[in-house]
Structure 1
Amino acid sequence: MRRLVLSGWLAALLASPHALAQGRPADVAGARDHPLVGRYEGARIARYQAKEFEEVRLIDKPLVAADGPRRNDRNSRTVEGRYWRITYEGPAGRSALELYRNHEQALAARGFERVFACGQQECGPGFAVIGAVEGVAGATGLPQVIEGQRYGLFRLPRDAGTVWVALYANERPAAGNRPLVPFAFVEIVEERPMQGERIQFVDASAMERAIGAIGKVALYGILFDFDRAEVKPESRPTLEEIAKYLRANPQVGLIVTGHTDSQGGFDYNVDLSRRRAAAVVAVLTRDFGIAPARLTPFGAGPAAPVAPNDTEDGRAKNRRVELVKR
């Protein structure tokens, strides 16, 4: 069997110069392998989503015709925690079964136990299982090979919380309907309780005191989805207080600085923090009438932590927006 490729910096460190020169097709922006799952040699990440906390149903029994392409109490279990959805494509010339068996072998080597597995029509009628795991029905791009489909649910018990991996593999036509290209759709959940009491509200008066005392204030009430730069609606109360502070201090200009934790690549995090800062400036100017000249967006990425990045609590403290007086 071909091996699963190591992920992240370790893979780059151990790769031969020849392999690095050949490379592989580019992943989608911001994507990265999960360290407990890895990827099949030569595959690329075609789709990627990650969330800090999500509730997910994972299929653990065959679907029946009455289910349709839906997860329900009969065919799945609910788990909560940090969540990833990753679709790997290719490489051409390999079968879906080979991708699936390699992933299965690698998971077993890391201590995962198989909870449920099925193949071909055992998984349910037609392509219902992939429609259920991807949350779509009859969408363009669904697999075309009943004989190729394989699905498995695996778990790794650990003190910090069980890790769940749902793996679906099949083959779909490439351009011109040939040749068939294998793909693997993976859902990963690291079970853990939601971290409550994370919302820290800073009003305009507190902003003024902090900026007057140390020239800046850290804000944790401006929220973004994981790996995204769009300001979430729940951020509005903090944005209103920023606008209130600026109106009360018309002579003040601010550097709006985005900060991230150290998870992922340095350059990617710097760019993400810059885009988040720019998004805050855009909302303040568009929705609150603040003059653009008073606000300068800046991305510090992980370069100015206020806590260690080796715990989730520390990483949460490092993910923030700071207002720095110019």
Structure 2
Amino acid sequence: MNLPRQLLALIPALSLATAALANTPPADVAGGADHPLIKRFAGSWLAGQRVAEWDAAELPGSAQVNKRDKQKFADVISLEGKVTRLLYIAPQGKSSLEVWRNYEQALSQAGLKKRFVCERDCYDLYLSWARQFDPNKGMNWAKAYIEAPGGRSYALTSALNSDEGRMLVGTLGKPGQEATVLLYTSVAANAKTGYVATYLQVVEPKAMATGQVSVDPAALQAGLAAEGRVTLTGLFFDTGKTELKPESKAQLDAMAELLKSQPALKAYIVGHTDNVGSFDANEKLSLARAQAVVAALTAAPYKVDAKRLAPKGLASLAPVAGNGDDAGKARNRRVELVAQ
């Protein structure tokens, strides 16, 4: 079939336009934006983003895995604050090393203090990270697909993998205000896609908003009457610390009022933890927190008789939720009032 010369002249232009469209990244996830501290690799698509204004987060503290349990890291960083998680897909044709090196150099130039870096033989590190913290499972907030040559598509929930995986963890910012950064890059889904995936997690120190929950002594009494124990949700500690934070006052006031209104009541103050870290360390932490509560109640202004309160620490022996995700771990980190 002979085409008019005008149509023949349009074919190269149409081909170029089609190629340009193919290389145009999809639109960023709705409402998505780079973190102010770290800009994306040029031309990348922000495929997923989740921001929690205040939450708990746990990151690997080193590349070493537990000698007895290869699925867990030997060192875990437990943090609280503003948590930002981002998933980027770099343009096709970029190597994973090129993407990694650009991020690493930019972070280093910004003053990142590296806690650890893994650039080679990171397979075991990725498996431990995937099993313990399950970043891909958390990608259910990135609900889209990577379109690969040949018409195949791969869910973003499988974007991260061990293929050419590289990871670093470090801190960025002024002393006392450091943000903790985790960077991981790998081939996106698999080598057939021609894409590179980048995962960024930034945890910024931030005080939790307080005064959002009121504590009713009657509710404590109702919990004791119904189950013989009640979780003290208004007690607050910094991660890994045993000192009660000032915002615990409302809970202590309610406990003191309950004990005053029930002079025959004797109680155990029982500390609990999640299963992160060694059992011995968690047992000491849970007991020390229970002791801190007892010390606060027996001191001025409450002056509860110390004979009425007994501190105990059960570490992770009595969970109320699974420890497979941050929400479950947060529920397990608690202090309870248990009637003797």
TM-score normalised over the length of structure 2: 0.49
* 2:264 counterpart of 1:237: no
Match of 1:293 among 298, 307, 315: 307
**Corresponding residue to 1:246 among 246, 259, 269:** 259
Deviation at 1:233, TM superposition (A): 0.7
Q: How does 1:104-123 map to 2 (within 5 A)?
A: 104-105=119-120, 110=126, 111-112=165-166
- Given residue 308 of structure 1, which amino acid in structure 2 is its aligned partner? G
Q: CA deviation at 1:315?
A: 1.2
Q: 1:150-188 deviations in whole A, cap 9, x for unaligned?
A: xxx8722699x9345xxxxxxxxxxxxxxxxxxxxxxxx
Residue in structure 2 matching 1:155, options 175, 179, 183: 183
Cα distance in 1 between the residues matched to 2:242 and 2:114 = 20
Change (3 A) 1:214 1:86: farther
Q: Deviations over 1:304-323 (max 9, x none)?
A: 11111112111111111110
Counterpart code for 2:310: T
Could you tell me which residue of structure 2 aligns to residue 264 of structure 1? 277
- 1:33 paired to 2:75: yes
Runs (5+) with no aligned partner, structure 1: 15-30, 35-48, 64-74, 78-84, 88-99, 116-129, 137-152, 165-188
SS in 2 for 1:162: strand
Identity in percent:
31
Counterpart secondary structure, 2:120 = helix
1:282 and 2:295 correspond: yes
Contact 1:223 1:235 in 2 (8 A): yes
Structure 1 counterpart of 2:166, which letter?
F
Matches of 1:239 and 1:219, distance apart in 2: 9
Partner Cα distance (1:286, 1:133) in 2? 39
Could you say which residue in structure 2 is the equivalent of 1:168?
Answer: none
Instruction: Classify 1:135/1:105 alpha carbon distance in 2 versus 1 (closer, same or farther; 3 Å).
Output: farther
Shift of 1:224: 0.7
2:81 maps to: 53
| Cross-structure match for 1:70 | none
SS, match of residue 217 in structure 1: strand
Gaps of 5+ in 2: 1-61, 85-103, 127-164, 189-197
1:171-320 equivalences under 5 Å are: 189=202, 201-287=214-300, 288-320=302-334
Q: Match for 1:6: what amino acid?
A: Q
**How far is the alpha carbon of 1:238 from its aligned partner?**
0.5
The Cα of 1:245 is off from its aligned counterpart by 0.5
